[in-house]
Structure 1
Amino acid sequence: MVLRRAALATLVANVGIVCTGGLVRLTGSGLGCPTWPRCTEESYVTTQEMGHHGLIEFGNRTLTFVLGLIAVVALAAAWRQRRRVPGLLKAAVWMMAGIAFQGVLGGITVRMALNPWTVMAHFLASMVLIALAYVFWHRTRDVPPRWTAPAAMRTGGVVVTAVSAAVLVLGTIVTGSGPHSGDTRAARTGFDPETVSQLHGDAVFVLVGLTLAMWFGLRALGAPLRVTRAAAVLLLVELGQGVVGFVQYFTGLPWPVVLLHMLGACLVWTATLGLLLSVTPRVKDVEQSERTYAPHSDASTA
């Protein structure tokens, strides 16, 4: 129970820190603490003279330590269960390493005055952390699969995940080309926002089409409800994210809507991972399932 809760807390915290990081950028507080690891040249914490921008930026930095603490609890729980759930401890270690790397990358981003390319890398690193946290949480469930997806569906899951990742990358390019730079002194990519937004939108349409095809295919194959539901959840989240995307585009990118869009990106990514893991069970789980149900098949045949 502790392991399961710690794993879920790690996933939620990784999504949460993406949103608080977005708040830093959207409120123009990206250089609220203009250096790193200190907040100023003389202080590790924000000062009164730095105002609300300093508070927002320093608050986001502080949440990194909260995330690290949750990850330590998850690592300790994984250590206790390392014999019962193989691979769980390795996932927890990778998460800890990822959090440390992300912290350093955030510092580099500040040191480079919010260079758009390092800001993109910072966001995409968070997506990798969310993926690690999701896999970690998924592995805490000890439920062997009763259905193995055909090769075409497994390939489809990988393709959907690749396109979803491409959508995220294009989304960061749109952000790096738009008005919300995090600070008036921050550079932009130089790409035309209209053009990259169109490319991002086209990729989203491809993703929605592939997800819909996966849903129909899984239903036609008689996949278990939990598998078809994973495709349906992804499709619904994508549609909701699309609505938010259109709203932010046609209303001039108000920051609360953009922040909601960032949350939606995290939800689309986690739903994508949910579908991928539903159609690509681990080899050891398939073997366990075969050992569990093969004797019954033999008995019925006899």
Structure 2
Amino acid sequence: MGVTQSLRTPQRADVERWAWAAVVANIVIVLTGGLVRLTDSGLGCPTWPRCTDSSFVPHRALGVHGVIEFGNRMLTYVLIAVVIATFVAVWRWAGTTRDLRRLAALIALGVPFQGVIGGITVLTDLNPWVVSLHMILSMLLVAASMLLVVRVRGTNHLAWPAYAKQVVLATYVVLWAAVYLGTMVTGAGPHAGDAEAPRNGLDPHVMSHVHAASVYLLVALTVAACVILRRTPAARIAGILLLVELAQGTIGFVQYLTDLPIALVAIHLVGAAALIAGGTRLLVTVVSSSSPLGTAAASRPVRPTRSR
């Protein structure tokens, strides 16, 4: 089925593919935005919404930094096209619900809003706190897109034990705390996006240890979730999340010990987005108290089996 047909008369599989496209596109924009900062191209286009006071496109004097920053801005339009297509697919799908339409609309509106925040980062000369907000909003769009994937796909509505929900919820909260602390480490470190951009004034070494402590707690909670959810439909999701956390933690240590090489920092950014996506999927699978498509579904209890 072609793209046009998947939007004209979408089936569940088509809608799910578009939702996944929104997840991937939002992660890609996290990567390209990070590369702008890592290559000191944050002010490659020194103003916004134009690139310069007199032009929407960069001129030769801006060099490669202007090309990189302008390219990232152009990719935002690709992302907008993807989320609009996702919204159309959700809206026209025969199995849609009002909640799904609202979620798709929120994602579609969130992308241009995120673009405005990106413009504000330029107009404030890459203020590190605004840059952190820009990053967190991108992560929220990743989470919302993954939520859409899970809701469209549908899962068995199971009555999970209260303690399982509490552990998964705590894991998700600590995950977001770890990601935000990571943005604070970046705001204190050398990758400011421009040689003249300000830093947040925090000690980067102290903040690195605080961030690491949050990661230790996250891994411990995820291990607990894996134990509690063993032999349940959510065990695989929790296991994958733990593996990504361990890989992400390893990359974090290596980049800290090797003075933050650009390639590793870029991979670390993608890993953070992948963690948000995976954590959101686990949260919705276990903690959500409503049926996947907003319909009344019979619940049956899940009791993790003890190994003998």
When normalised by structure 1's length, the TM-score is 0.91
1:52 aligns to 2:64 (yes or no)? yes
Q: Is the 8 A contact 1:82 1:88 kept in 2?
A: no
2:194 to 158, 163, 183: 183
Alignment map for 1:114-263 (pairs within 5 Å): 114-145=126-157, 147-219=158-230, 223-224=231-232, 226-263=233-270
Gaps of 5+ in 2: 1-12, 301-308
Q: Is the 8 A contact 2:22 2:83 kept in 1?
A: yes
2:52 to 35, 40, 43: 40
The Cα RMSD (Å) is: 1.7
Change (3 A) 1:188 1:85: same
CA shift, 1:109, in A, is: 0.4
Distance 1:106 1:126 in 2: 10
Identity of aligned residues (%): 44
Q: Is the 8 A contact 2:37 2:194 kept in 1?
A: yes
CA shift, 1:51, in A, is: 1.0
The equivalent residue for 2:99 is 87
Partner SS for 1:191: coil
Q: Is the 8 A contact 1:130 1:270 kept in 2?
A: yes
Q: Is the 8 A contact 2:80 2:111 kept in 1?
A: yes
Q: Is the 8 A contact 1:7 1:133 kept in 2?
A: yes
Distance 2:289 2:272 in 1: 26
Higher relative contact order (CA 8 A, sep 6+): 2
Q: Is the 8 A contact 2:100 2:151 kept in 1?
A: yes
The equivalent residue for 2:3 is none
Q: Which amino acid aligns with 2:298?
A: E
Partner SS for 1:25: helix
When normalised by structure 2's length, the TM-score is 0.90
Partner SS for 2:229: helix
Say which is worse superposed, 76-85 or 264-273, in terms of deviation. 76-85
Say which is worse superposed, 82-91 or 269-278, in terms of deviation. 82-91
Distance 1:150 1:242 in 2: 30
Q: Which amino acid aligns with 2:34?
A: G
Gaps of 5+ in 1: 294-302
Q: Is the 8 A contact 1:148 1:281 kept in 2?
A: no
Distance 1:80 1:170 in 2: 40
Higher helix share: 1
- The count of aligned residue pairs is 288
CA shift, 1:281, in A, is: 3.4
The equivalent residue for 1:298 is none
CA shift, 1:47, in A, is: 1.4
Q: Which amino acid aligns with 2:165?
A: R
